[in-house]
Amino acid sequence: MNIPSFDLTGKVAVITGGTKGLGYGMARTLSHYGAKVVVASRTAGACAAVAAELRSEGREALGIPCDVTDNAQIKRLIHTTAEQLGGLDIMVCNAGIGRTNSALEFTEEEWDEVMDVNLRALFFCCQYAARVMAAQGRGGRIINISSAGGVVGARGVASYCASKGGVINLTRALALEWGKYDITVNAVCPGYVPTDINRAQLDNPKIRAAIENLTAFRRLGTVEEVAAPVLFLASDAASYITGHALLVDGGASAN
């Protein structure tokens, strides 16, 4: 038998929202394992800075600014990547936002904003990436960052839960369509990891303790603990896994 490999040498990976938080950890990790990484978020300076950091570690990396709510920018991101780095093998759709409000008070804007970034834009990132992967004929890996909030409900974040639940079932549908191109499509569903997206919530010691207590380990997750399953799903070792939603929540949803 061949021993399963996690090496990504020669693979080209794009990470949306790769300049900070969980996406930054994924960019560092995939780069460490040999991938040529494209870091994409809205701020050109931040993309360039993370790419420069990866290059300073002897890796190939590019920063390409992209607002994922604009399809023209997604198209540019994918085509520039393929042109400059020789194709596209791994697409990590990580960019995401949350808005907190009571479901009775949610405005149209708050609803649309979240759905646009977390679900609509994610679909078009998958579509543009899969078109390139299908055309190049060497398979591919798409990893969509959903959330434990896409599996279980939570108070005050109705649009977020709806969008992340949508990501999971979208992932299944795409996996079935794109298996014929040897493209796997999977979702990773993190529990709480302290980043900018949940700073306000976690700054409240009572809320933080309640969240910690829901997990089997009585603690929040780390950026590394979410990057690791992304690495696994991006690797050859995960070649027979598709349409799966992997919970990385310290057991919180086992309650």
Which residues are CB-contacts of 136 (< 8 A; sequence separation ≥ 6)?
82, 87, 88
* By CB under 6 A, residue 136 contacts ligand NAD: no
At which residue do the structure tokens 């994924």 appear?
A: 26
* By CB under 6 A, residue 172 contacts ligand NAD: no
* By CB under 6 A, residue 19 contacts ligand NAD: yes
The neighbour count for residue 224, using CB atoms within 10 Å, is 12
State the Cα–Cα distance between residues 12 and 86, nearest whole angstrom: 8
* By CB under 6 A, residue 23 contacts ligand NAD: yes
> How far from 158 is each of 15, 109, 163, CA to CA, in Å?
26, 13, 9
Token representation of residue 178? 């794109």
* By CB under 6 A, residue 81 contacts ligand NAD: no
* By CB under 6 A, residue 42 contacts ligand NAD: yes
Least Å distance, CB 143 to ligand NAD, is: 11
- Residues 195-254 touching ligand NAD, rule: CB under 6 A, are 195-198
Contact between residue 20 and residue 195 where contact means Cβ atoms under 8 Å apart: yes
Among 67, 113, 212, 236, binds ligand NAD (CB under 6 A): 67
* By CB under 6 A, residue 63 contacts ligand NAD: no
Amino acid identity, residue 42?
R
Least Å distance, CB 13 to ligand NAD, is: 15
Among 51, 130, 192, 233, binds ligand NAD (CB under 6 A): 192
* By CB under 6 A, residue 29 contacts ligand NAD: no
* By CB under 6 A, residue 165 contacts ligand NAD: no
Q: Give the binding range for ligand NAD (CB under 6 A) out of 15-23, 49-57, 170-178, 229-237.
A: 15-23
Among 97, 152, 207, 237, binds ligand NAD (CB under 6 A): 97
Token representation of residue 158? 């109705």
- Residues 109-128 touching ligand NAD, rule: CB under 6 A, are 117
* By CB under 6 A, residue 68 contacts ligand NAD: yes
Contact between residue 78 and residue 177 where contact means Cβ atoms under 8 Å apart: no
Nearest to 139 by CA among 175, 179, 172, 176: 179
Of 97 and 134, which CB lies nearer to ligand NAD in the complex structure?
Answer: 97
Among left, alpha and beta (phi > 0; psi -120 to 50; other), residue 243 is left
Is 33 a known active-site residue? no
Least Å distance, CB 251 to ligand NAD, is: 15
At which residue do the structure tokens 């529990």 appear?
A: 191
State the Cα–Cα distance between residues 143 and 230, nearest whole angstrom: 7
At residue 23's C-alpha, the angle toward residues 7 and 109, to 5°, is 145
Residue numbers at the binding site for ligand NAD (CB under 6 A) = 16-17, 19-23, 41-42, 66-69, 94-97, 117, 145, 147, 190, 192-193, 195-198
> Catalytic amino acids?
160
